[in-house]
Amino acid sequence: MRTKVAIIGAGPAGLLLGQLLHAYGVDNVILERQTPEYVLGRIRAGLLEEGTVALLEKVAAAGRLHQEGLIHHGIELAFDGARHRIDMHATTGKTVTIYGQTEVTLDLMNARKAAGLTSIYSAAEVKPHDFDTDHPRVTYVKDGVAHEIQCDFIAGCDGFHGVSRASVPASALKTYERVYPFGWLGILSETPPVSPELIYSNHERGFALCTMRSTKRSRYYVQCPLDDHVDQWSDQRFWDELRRRVDQKAADEMVIGPSIEKSIAPLRSFVAEPMRFGRMFLAGDASHIVPPTGAKGLNLAASDVHYLSQAFREFYDDKSSAGIDGYSARALARVWKAVRFSWWMTSMLHRFPDEGDFAARIQIAELNYLVSSQAASTSLSENYVGLPF
């Protein structure tokens, strides 16, 4: 098989890249080691910046998003028993949209299928080759038969544990990482959200987040030790702990119910540089991970894909390599700003086991400054709604 761009990974990054390239007339094939059902079964975040929404509109994959997505103009910060609203729209003119990542993936899958584009699922032993030459290729096994795709470029959109970054010689990579000493225990429940906007809560027992997927489905999180296991947390224990960590009004008004999904996610900040290796390019989680506190993971993948699709369009339409040559530096400049913001939000809202009362009081002082200073709240808002691509 021959194509211009071989995309490894059929998550939202790979699918969005494929649709953008199709819109630009650039042939592409997507390889995914899992089944479509497995990909859609992964529970992920659900807050979209306006830039991400615009890209989905560009590839005609935003129809259901506009029907079902929830537009949010602000967030709430809870600390010292009270809740304070940050009006992001008032200071930035921008909003965010609550719409599950799984739904984004499904919409992109359907758009790709409608366009008749090639996606190969259950592709085993996927491996990029010769990306340091002018003739890269990708091999894989499907139903026991070995296959090869010859291509001009390879796009590694296969996540943190994928084969793309792992195929790069260690000497060519520089990685930066911080592993946080706690995780997020999250549940999904068929209950109405406790608030129309997200509540981020700093509490002496640990961080809590109240969010949602729709007006009838809620997503809640509590900070927990890294060595906790899901089976240690009954639904009742979770609800009791969550209500201890939010303000009294939220605790009183919260509607509880059985969980339909429950999991613990570790938190880390991770960046691998560069994001280009000859004719192979990394995008999304294959190159960087941020803690979910700042809601940047999916949105960073979207900005990577925007830069990369533009670079490929310039290469084929304008016969210019400037875009592909500058991709890594351009993407990383935005990545590091999001990494900083996510680290800052995480540091301000969580209790760190190796830090004492002094650090806790600094957090409260910072939160008080944040909600009382227009300059500080504007800075938070600018980063939260998304910096320009």
List phi, psi (to 5°) of 202: -95, 120
User: Does 384 participate in catalysis according to the annotation?
Assistant: yes
Catalytic residue among 12, 22, 72, 140: 72
Catalytic residue among 99, 200, 220, 221: 200
Q: What is the 3-state secondary structure (H, E, C) of 79-136?
A: ECCEEEEEEHHHHHCCCEEECCHHHHHHHHHHHHHHCCCCEECCCEEEEEECCCCCCC
Catalytic residue among 22, 262, 292, 306: 292
34: enclosing H helix or E strand: none
User: Does 72 participate in catalysis according to the annotation?
Assistant: yes
CA 263, 266, 267, 271 dihedral sign is negative
Q: How far apart are CA 173 and CA 98, in angstroms?
A: 35
Catalytic residue among 296, 306, 307, 350: 296
User: Does 316 participate in catalysis according to the annotation?
Assistant: no
61: enclosing H helix or E strand: none
The pairing of beta strand 153-156 with beta strand 174-189: unpaired
Q: Report which DSSP code applies to 246.
A: S
List phi, psi (to 5°) of 199: -115, 120
User: Does 200 participate in catalysis according to the annotation?
Assistant: yes
Catalytic residue among 180, 220, 327, 384: 384
* Cβ atoms of residues 88 and 200 within 8 Å: no
User: Does 296 participate in catalysis according to the annotation?
Assistant: yes
Enzyme catalytic residues:
72, 200, 292, 296, 384
